[in-house]
């Protein structure tokens, strides 16, 4: 009966029909289809209401009216936007995409009428989006324009439960100031713009390179107001932050009797930046701060949700292994939420049970989750369901409602990768075997490429059987390249090849999106690895070469493709992967030559020059597209302020995250990127230094510690390189003509990698 109560509440929260208006969906059409704003009619229906024994998921019907309009009816705003998306993708063959933008207007001037109605029903009530760290890896420097595109993308794909983390530091400042903390206490506690996610997790504290300014905090919270307002208008339930227990060290001064412990150190960071202070939930102050936080947040944003994100042990071990201790932590945390919001639901990521599995035995998991005595008051995100699901071993999180999620991507790495079988078959099997599964979701660390994999899971939330991926990919290709004449057959063939290889990984040792070895600090060993940041390729590189040639030749069938933003993006992306795969072989040849007893320095020098020449060529290709350019990231960071000092601080943050990730390279190359400007400015110099070292030192005296110290000196200097008010790397004009010329030159060269 506990889950029945949850469903009653969930149905009420999803529907809320009496208070809802379709204006938010009409506004979406106005933004993205202004020429067709009068061609649609939206209608909320109440006759699909659920009951306590069988909850109602979202349902829609799309039909044509006698007046010639497209009528979309549904039992929620999310159902309406999903029905709209279904019509646009399946009938008009257009869509909206990451990094490409709105392509909904490239369809016909007269919208096709429907001979038969389109119907759809979700198989789960919740469709979730975002990992806490996505707000740093991808969205750290997003503008409102970026957020508007993101939220429309989410709405059209049926997401109704998005995480909304932006600007929570503003509330914390006010809460902690009430305790008597000073500006110095607070601004030395918060982490920089590109690292705030891990401050929120309690992994790190403070900011290397300068304190987080009040200007940033204020501006981000204003953004949060806009974000959450739009979420609600689009029928989404925002998941908002609350007080987690992580506090500045100054807590000991203002509350000398507070019950506190220090968290464990994280990822080798100096004590100055980790061992974050945790106020124990048993301390009465914890509940008081919770009340203050949630109250202030509701005053600013409105009473827009009852779901709160709260993670206390993300990659940090609890203070004690005692089961009663673990239960008391969660029990008192739960009670602090319920005291201020009687309908509160605690949402937490289940990542800790995988990443720290040696600590989190089943009895400890059960004790911690058991502190929340009413199952409906918690939702657990099974963060890495497609590769390392935890729901089976925890007996569906011991009855707590949970979400099946695709993580897929660590650190925003850019390799082509997917597990089409796991994200279609596995969630359906989970739904059949777990009565507490209440949603599907996307939890990528970085919202980067491979967009089709994310579309696939969100669409799976509307199909009771596993999606047949061959047809799905074909339909996706149709709308992907719409707007520039017929889609050549070569594109369908290329994507079908990638579907069965690149996007069909079944090698369990390769767990997520791959990264190129040229993004890693060079060494003669350890460059090829598996796991989260695998550099291993699970398909034949020749397969992707064939796919590239098919895609390239498609432009000969239809030259207008070079004016298609999606085609431009995909040609850069596939070229990047082909070059990456080719670099692997070059590297192997170099190391083999170096470790051979009879190889001349001339040979090593030639092999090294070939490698850096390949990277220089790739840099030019990447720089034709803003989505693959360092300057896009750095310019966005600098645009956050008109103050030159703050611009440099923000740029330093942006540079540091994608390279050293820490003041001295604590997580170096974790969030590496194959970006134009980053290759020539950062990776090529490292590889040149590496080859010079090989020429200088015979293999018998090879010393990686010595070599790494040379790298670090360069890497530290690069962190502040060019901070004179302008971004040094300038992206080339995004034009298919420029990309076409570059690729034709590469394909036509005698030593090209596409043969």
Most distant CA pair in the chain, distance = 83
- CATH number of residue 527's parent domain: 1.20.120.670
- CATH number of residue 299's parent domain: 3.20.20.80
Is the same domain home to 196 and 325?
yes
pLDDT in tens, 626-648: 999 999 999 999 999 999 999 99
Residue 470 lies in a domain: no
User: Of 335, 370, 405, which residue is a domain's last?
Assistant: 405
What's the confidence (pLDDT) of residue 738? 86
Residue 74 lies in a domain: yes
Structure token digits, residue 707:
């070599």
- Round the average pLDDT of the chain to a whole number and report it: 94
- Per-residue pLDDT, averaged over 67-80, amounts to 97
Residue 206 lies in a domain: yes
Is the same domain home to 187 and 269?
yes
Q: How far apart are CA 510 and CA 597, in angstroms?
A: 34
pLDDT band at 736 (very low <50, low <70, confident <90, very high): low
Is the same domain home to 209 and 110?
no
pLDDT in tens, 164-178: 999 999 999 999 999
Q: Quick one: how many helices (H) and strands (E) in the chain?
A: 28, 17
Range of the domain at 628: 489-748
Q: How far apart are CA 348 and CA 311, in angstroms?
A: 5
Is the same domain home to 525 and 645?
yes
Is the same domain home to 514 and 651?
yes
What's the confidence (pLDDT) of residue 598? 87
Between 55 and 162, residue with greater pLDDT: 162
What's the confidence (pLDDT) of residue 454? 98
- Give the three-class secondary structure for 334: helix
Q: Closest Cα partner for 157 from 265, 250, 237, 85? A: 85
Q: How far apart are CA 349 and CA 281, in angstroms?
A: 19
Is the same domain home to 168 and 115?
no
Residue 95 lies in a domain: yes
Is the same domain home to 393 and 497?
no
User: Of 356, 377, 405, which residue is a domain's last?
Assistant: 405
Kindly report the backbone phi and psi dihedral angles of residue 681, in degrees, each rounded to the nearest multiple of 5, phi listed first.
-90, -20
Q: Residue count of the chain, please give it.
A: 755
User: Of 358, 374, 405, which residue is a domain's last?
Assistant: 405
Residue 149 lies in a domain: no
Within 10 Å of residue 435's Cβ, how many Cβ atoms? 11
Quickly list DSSP for 454-475. HHHHHHHTT-SS---HHHHHHH
Is the same domain home to 266 and 330?
yes
Residue 435 lies in a domain: no
Is the same domain home to 215 and 354?
yes
Count the domains in the chain: 3
By mean pLDDT, which of 1-10, 219-228, 687-696 is the weakest?
Answer: 1-10
Q: How far apart are the first and last CA of the chain?
A: 63
Residue 339 neighbours by CB under 8 Å, 6+ apart:
287, 290, 291
Between 9 and 190, residue with greater pLDDT: 190
Residue 67 neighbours by CB under 8 Å, 6+ apart:
none
Q: How far apart are CA 633 and CA 625, in angstroms?
A: 12
Is the same domain home to 233 and 102?
no
Residue 283 lies in a domain: yes
- CATH number of residue 110's parent domain: 3.30.379.10
pLDDT in tens, 697-723: 999 999 999 999 999 999 999 999 876
pLDDT in tens, 356-392: 999 999 999 999 999 999 999 999 999 999 999 999 9
Residue 479 lies in a domain: no
- For residue 315, the Cα-to-chain-centroid distance in whole angstroms is 18
């Amino acid at each position: 009966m506990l889950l029945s109560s949850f469903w009653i509440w969930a149905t009420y929260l999803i529907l809320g029909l009496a208070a809802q208006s379709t204006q938010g969906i009409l506004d979406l059409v106005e933004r993205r289809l202004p020429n067709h704003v009068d061609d649609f009619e939206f209608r909320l229906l109440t006759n699909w209401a659920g009951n306590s024994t069988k909850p109602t998921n979202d349902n829609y019907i799309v039909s044509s009216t006698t007046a010639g309009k497209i009528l979309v009816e549904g039992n929620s705003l999310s159902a309406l936007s999903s029905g709209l998306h279904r019509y646009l993708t399946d009938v008009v063959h257009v869509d909206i995409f990451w990094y490409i933008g709105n392509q909904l207007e490239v369809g016909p001037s007269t919208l096709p009428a429907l001979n038969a109605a389109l119907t759809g029903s979700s198989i789960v009530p919740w469709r979730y989006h975002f990992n806490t760290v996505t707000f740093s890896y991808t969205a750290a420097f997003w503008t409102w324009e970026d957020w508007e595109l993101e939220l429309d993308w989410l709405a059209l794909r049926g997401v109704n439960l998005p995480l909304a983390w932006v600007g929570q530091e503003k509330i914390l400042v006010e809460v902690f100031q009430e305790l008597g903390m000073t500006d110095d206490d607070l601004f030395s506690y918060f982490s920089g713009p590109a690292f705030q996610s891990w401050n929120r997790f309690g992994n790190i504290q403070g900011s290397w390179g300068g304190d987080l300014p009040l200007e940033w905090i204020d501006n981000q919270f204003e953004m949060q107001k806009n974000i959450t307002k739009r979420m609600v208008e689009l029928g989404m339930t925002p998941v908002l932050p609350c007080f987690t227990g992580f506090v500045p060290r100054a807590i000991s001064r203002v509350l000398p009797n507070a019950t506190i412990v220090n968290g464990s150190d994280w990822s080798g960071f100096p004590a100055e930046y980790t061992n974050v202070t945790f106020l124990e939930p048993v301390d009465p102050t914890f509940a008081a701060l919770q009340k203050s936080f949630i109250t202030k947040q509701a005053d600013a944003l409105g009473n827009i949700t009852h779901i709160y994100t709260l993670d206390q042990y993300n990659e940090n071990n609890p203070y004690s292994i005692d089961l009663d201790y673990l239960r008391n932590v969660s029990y008192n945390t739960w009670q602090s939420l319920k005291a201020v919001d009687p309908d509160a639901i605690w949402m937490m990521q289940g990542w800790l049970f995988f990443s720290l599995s040696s600590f989190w035995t089943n009895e400890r998991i059960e004790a911690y989750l058991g502190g929340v005595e009413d199952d409906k008051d918690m939702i657990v995100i099974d963060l890495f369901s497609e590769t390392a699901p935890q729901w089976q071993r925890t007996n569906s999180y011991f009855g707590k409602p949970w979400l099946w999620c695709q993580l897929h991507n660590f650190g925003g790495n850019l390799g082509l990768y997917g597990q089409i079988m796991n994200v279609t078959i596995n969630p359906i099997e989970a739904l059949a075997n777990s009565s507490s599964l209440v949603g599907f979701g996307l939890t990528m660390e970085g919202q980067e490429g491979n967009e089709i994999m994310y579309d696939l899971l969100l669409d799976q939330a509307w199909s009771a059987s596993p999606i047949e991926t061959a047809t799905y990919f074909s339909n996706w290709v149709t709308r992907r390249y719409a707007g520039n004449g017929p889609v050549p057959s070569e594109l369908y063939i290329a994507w079908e090849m990638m579907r069965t290889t690149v996007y069909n990984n079944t090698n369990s040792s390769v767990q997520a999106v791959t990264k190129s070895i040229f993004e890693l600090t060079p060494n003669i060993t350890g460059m090829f690895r598996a796991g989260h940041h695998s550099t291993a390729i699970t398909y034949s590189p020749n397969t992707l070469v064939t796919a590239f040639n098919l895609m390239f030749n498609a432009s000969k069938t239809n030259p207008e493709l070079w004016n298609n933003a999606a085609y431009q993006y995909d040609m850069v992306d596939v070229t990047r992967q082909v070059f990456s795969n080719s670099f692997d072989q070059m590297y192997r040849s170099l190391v083999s030559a170096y470790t051979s007893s009879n190889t001349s320095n001339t040979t090593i020098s030639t092999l090294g020059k070939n490698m850096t020449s390949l990277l220089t060529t790739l840099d030019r290709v990447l720089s034709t597209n803003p989505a693959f350019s360092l300057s896009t990231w750095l310019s966005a960071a600098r645009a956050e302020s008109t103050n030159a000092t703050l611009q440099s601080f923000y740029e330093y943050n942006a540079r540091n995250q994608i390279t050293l990730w820490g003041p001295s390279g604590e997580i170096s190359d974790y969030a590496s990127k194959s970006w134009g400007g980053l290759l020539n400015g950062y990776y090529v110099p490292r590889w040149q230094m590496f080859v010079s070292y090989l020429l200088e030192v015979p293999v018998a005296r090879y010393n990686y510690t010595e070599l790494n110290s040379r790298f670090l000196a360069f890497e530290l200097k690069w962190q502040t390189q060019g901070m004179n008010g302008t971004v040094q790397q300038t992206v080339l004009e995004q034009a298919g003509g420029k990309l076409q010329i570059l690729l034709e030159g590469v394909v036509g060269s005698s030593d090209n990698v596409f043969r």
